[in-house]
Amino acid sequence: MTKTKIKIDYNKCQKPEDCRKCLQICSPGVYNLVFTDKDYHNPKDWKIIPVFKQLCTRCMVCVSDCPEKAISVKN
Amino acid sequence: MCQMCLKHGAAGKWYLNAKNYMNEIYEDANSYEYLENLWGNLERSYVRKVYGLMNMSGLSKHANTPLIGKVLKWYANRGFLFDGTKKKINYAATQGHFGQVITINEAKTIVTEIAPIIAKAQCPCKYFTRGIKEATCLGFTPLVEVLNKLPRFVPKNGVEILNPDKAIAFLDEMSKKGRVNTIWCAPVPAIAALCSCDAPSCGALRLREFNINACWKGDYIADLDKDKCIQCGNCSNRCQFKALEYREGLGPEINLHLCFGCGKCTEVCEQHAIKLIDRNQIPETRGKY
């Protein structure tokens, strides 16, 4: 299995709940919108994490379509 | 007969046993508290299932290493069948949250004859995997009560109690879109929800790819009669599990190992060439849920 490194710059990705573009555009569904803090009832504070890195096909659609240019994918 | 039907089925299918929908069972299994914690934390428990024991990022890459992977999968799989009436259940590890694929006819029987109170809830999986807000889950008694405490799962128009006719219309509408019906325990054996899932966006069906079996395959398997098939191609885009392969000139072909027995391909077949048969009839798939 080839290793894929997906990084999201959280300084640039400020409002994941409003945008959610990478969730909808990724055909294998690598990204998930998940909470990390204790206050979990408010989705505004949640983060987008690349959970299923193994499924990434490296089509680079998320890199080019992210409006904030926050995602980087490396082999 | 499967393990669940033996224990909770009363000589039938466990999800058609009216006892599992009774208030006494919900109270015995502590469903109200369990659901509140589970649905409130569903995203985190789901990611934990992938990452491994704790939320150590990067542990998921060990899912296929020989020994460590086996231990991780054993740990992730072991809790789903825990009985909520006998054991204390760890909701953070989604213990007791067991599900199975059912056919549309069974779903309609449940909605009309067995389930006492039904209401729509927003699907948590579709939201955190795809960012779609859609009310596709039908919740039963405990879920309807717990929904008021979990505002993010309340659909747009508020909690609405459905009568059987409305619920059937809703199931038909979902079936047209090709959604797979799944039934869910919270915890075993109390039944709390009937979902209409989409294969890549449903959390449990996605975890099947990693051999984590929260959602079992259905009790049936699709069987094709090649003599009746006229190769119309209606079934070509119905399978969500890559089990039905349609080739131009050759017609459909069904892979028994991948078939979940949801019956979506049989619903569109006008010639009745595809039928559902019992999974346990075929030695190859006997007992493999």
For residue B207, the enclosing domain spans 3-216
**Residue B158 pLDDT greater than 70, yes or no:** yes
Q: How many domains does chain A have?
A: 1
With cut-offs at 50, 70 and 90, classify the pLDDT of residue B223. Answer: very high
**What CATH number did the domain enclosing A29 receive?**
3.30.70.20
Query: Is A32 close to B128, i.e. CB distance below 8 A?
Result: yes
- Read off φ and ψ for residue B170, nearest 5 degrees: -65, -40
Q: How many C-beta atoms lie closer than 10 Å to residue A8's C-beta?
A: 20
Q: Are B169 and B248 found together in one domain? A: no
Q: Do B64 and B7 reside in the same domain of the chain? A: yes
**A23 to chain B: closest CA residue:** B130
Cβ atoms of B96 and B82 closer than 8 Å: yes
Half-sphere exposure of B137 (CA within 13 A, CB side): 24
Segment A41-50, tens digit of pLDDT: 777 778 888 8
Task: Tell me the pLDDT of chain A (75 aa) as tens digits.
Answer: 567 888 889 899 888 888 888 888 988 888 888 876 666 677 777 888 888 877 888 889 999 999 989 999 987
pLDDT digits (tens, 9 = 90+) for B228-239: 999 988 899 899
What's the complex ipTM? Answer: 0.84
Q: Which residues touch B104 (CB under 8 Å, ≥6 apart)?
A: B171, B175, B181, B263, B267
* B189 has pLDDT over 50: yes
Partner-chain contact B206 A34, CB within 8 Å: no
**Region B253-261 average pLDDT:** 92
Q: Are residues B193 and B240 in the same domain?
A: no
Query: Does residue B121 share a domain with residue B238?
Result: no
Chain-chain contact of B132 with A51 (C-beta, under 8 angstroms) = no
User: Domain check: are B135 and B113 in the same one?
Assistant: yes
Q: Which residues 22-51 on chain A approach chain B with CB closer than 8 angstroms?
A: 23-24, 28-29, 32-35, 40-41, 43, 46, 49, 51
State how far residue A70 is from chain B, nearest Cα, in angstroms.
18
Report how far residue B112's alpha carbon sits from residue B109's, in angstroms, rounded to the nearest whole number.
Answer: 5
Nearest Cα to B200, choosing from B125, B104, B260, B109? B125
Of B163, B192, B216, at which residue does a domain stop? Answer: B216
Inspect the interface and report whether the beta carbons of A40 and B151 lie closer than 8 Å: no
For chain B, the average pLDDT equals 87
User: Domain residues for A20?
Assistant: 5-74
Say which range, A4-18, B47-61, B264-278, has the weakest mean pLDDT. Answer: B47-61
B-chain CB neighbours of A28 within 8 Å are 200
Q: Considering the entire predicted model, what is its pTM?
A: 0.87
Interface contact A23-B131, CB threshold 8 A = yes
